[in-house]
Amino acid sequence: MAKHCLSLVCSPDIAEKLLDSLLISLPEQVFTSTFTFSHGTPHGRLSGAEKVMGRSNSMQIQLIVEEDQLHSTLAVARRDFKGTGLYFWAYELSAEGVIE
């Protein structure tokens, strides 16, 4: 089964809840999270300073998942994070591994 890299970009306000949800639903998965800036966020979600800068503070989470996990993770996200502006993209991996 193909593996995918799933990227999730969310506001810092929901980051901890999203991370907790991922840890519960995918306890064996390795994933990364980092604070970043995002561009193109709807202006209704930007603070005054963010509107001036043209970017918003965000959290980006990336995880490697099997195809069935991709679909189930997105289903949970659609259910539990509806209306939060959680943005995602996914692509099939061409390589993955650990260098020892």
| Global pTM value | 0.86
Q: What is the predicted pLDDT for the residue at 17?
A: 97
**Would you give per-residue pLDDT tens digits along the chain (100 residues)?**
899 999 999 999 999 999 999 999 999 888 999 999 888 765 456 677 766 677 778 999 999 999 999 999 999 999 999 999 899 999 999 999 999 9
CB under 8 Å to 75, separation ≥6 — which residues?
none
Q: What is the predicted pLDDT for the residue at 46?
A: 66
All domains of the chain, ordered by start, with CATH?
3-92 (3.30.70.120)
User: What is the side-by-side order of every strand in the sheet holding 56-66?
Assistant: 31-38, 56-66, 3-10, 87-92
